[in-house]
Amino acid sequence: METSSVTMVGTKTATSSTKHHAKIAVNRFFANRLAVSGSILVLFISLICILAPVLTSYNPIEMNVQDRLKPPSASHWFGTDEFGRDVFTRVVYGSRISMGVGFSVVMITSIIGLIFGLYSAYYRRLDNFLMRINDGLMAFPAILLAIAILAALGPKMSNVIIALSVVYIPTVARAIRSVAITVREQTYIEAIRALGGKSWRIIWLHIAPNCLSPLIVQATFIFAYAVITEASLSFLGAGTPPPEPSWGNILNDGRTIMKQAWWMTVFPGLSIMMTVLGLNLLGDGLRDLLDPHTNKAKK
């Protein structure tokens, strides 16, 4: 009887205190203007990605020669390109590729970067090995390395994801490693060892959660870089191959006829800018929110 009443009280306070913590977190998030405006932009673009088929009735790759190079109008909001395809439709569907590539790259780099970072922080011998590879990869400019990998693998969306992941994993691994090294030296990690915790438990249950906030911040920035780099690669013809629309290759198509058809470069350009701006704002905001050091300094 008595024990059951104790647990009841316990679980009740547990939920109320979790709710309390969640409420504080939400309030702090909404008080941060950077984070809020960033997330509004990112949400807006994500909605466009999801709702693409609803937003437009045109086909993004079907050509329609009598409609070529029409300026923006009621039927073609962003005008048409040199094959008569609706630029609005192409930009909307292009967002799926840009954001899809960005999101996949973020997921892959976060997971692999976290693993590399944690293990190289924990095992010193592994550290030397992994970090020298890391240094090697980081020595190349991101775009150059991505182009080289794509040249070897061939231009395909999945290959773009692989190339960008390889390019950005070292950045994440570095960031995680530096945090994990500080966490590793904390007394509470030693305390867990003294309590008989095994290495995997220490790494994943005690060091990893303490690295999550820098990882989240890093991930938003990687997302932004990945969107830009994907666009650059497609612009250079090394990324998503035409006729599949991607912001980068729409820009490239419009490049030669920028004087006659400004809409072909302006709209995909604006989309890239908005996405990257949104992600960067969100990243800055999250960094202020999650990092206790900058948090106080800014206020």
Partner 1 sequence: MTLLKVKNLKTRFSTELGEVTAVDGVSFHVNAGETVGLVGESGCGKSVTSLSILRLFRKHSGTKLAGEIFFEQKELLTSSMEEMQEIRGNQISMIFQDPMSSLNPVYTVGNQISESLMLHQKLSKKEAYEKTIEMLSLVGIPSPEKRVNDYPHQLSGGMRQRVMIAMGLCCHPKLLIADEPTTALDVTIQAQILDLMKDLQEQLQMGIMLITHDLGVVAEVCDRVLVMYLGQIVEEASVETLFENPKHPYTIGLMKSIPTIDGKRGEKLHVIEGMVPSLHQIPAGCRFAPRCPFADEKCRSHPPDLIEVSHSHKARCWHHERIGIGGGNAIAIGNQ
Residues that bind partner 1 (CB under 8 A): 3, 6-7, 9-10, 13-14, 17-18, 124-125, 186-198, 201, 205-206, 209-210
Report d(CA 281, CA 288) in Å as an integer. 11
What span, in angstroms and rounded, lies between the C-alpha atoms of 85 and 254? 12
Alpha-carbon gap, residue 155 to 15, rounded angstroms: 50
Of residues 137 and 212, the one with the C-beta less far from partner 1? 212
Q: Output the six-digit token pair for 211.
A: 């690295």
Cβ 72 to partner 1, closest distance in Å?
51
Smallest Cα–Cα separation from 150: which of 192, 107, 101?
101
Q: Measured between alpha carbons, how far is 232 from 248 in angstroms, rounded to an integer?
A: 6
Compare residues 16 and 73 and give the one whose CB is closer to partner 1: 16
Q: Which is nearer to partner 1, 124 or 259 (CB)?
A: 124
Instruction: Find all residues with CB under 8 Å of 140, minimum gap 6, and list them.
Output: 148
In angstroms, rounded to a whole number, what is the distance separating the alpha carbons of residues 117 and 283? Answer: 20
Instruction: Please count the residues of the chain.
Output: 299
Tell me the closest approach of the beta carbon of residue 17 to partner 1, in angstroms. 5
Least distance between partner 1 and beta carbon 6 (Å): 6
d(CA 94, CA 270) in angstroms, rounded, equals 13
Of 3 and 66, nearer to partner 1 (C-beta) is 3
- Cβ nearer to partner 1, comparing 62 with 185: 185
CB of 285 to partner 1, least distance (A): 21
- Residue 156's SS3 state is coil
Q: Residue 82 Cβ, how far from partner 1 at the closest point, in Å? A: 55
DSSP string covering 205-234: IIIHHHHHHHHHHHHHHHHHHHHHHHHHHH
Residue 189 C-beta: closest distance to partner 1, Å: 8
- The Cα 241–Cα 227 span in angstroms is 16
Using the minimum distance from each CB to partner 1, give the nearer residue, 135 or 190. Answer: 190
Q: Which is nearer to partner 1, 12 or 33 (CB)?
A: 12
- Radius of gyration, CA atoms only, the chain: 24
Report in angstroms how near the CB of residue 120 gets to partner 1 at its nearest.
Answer: 13
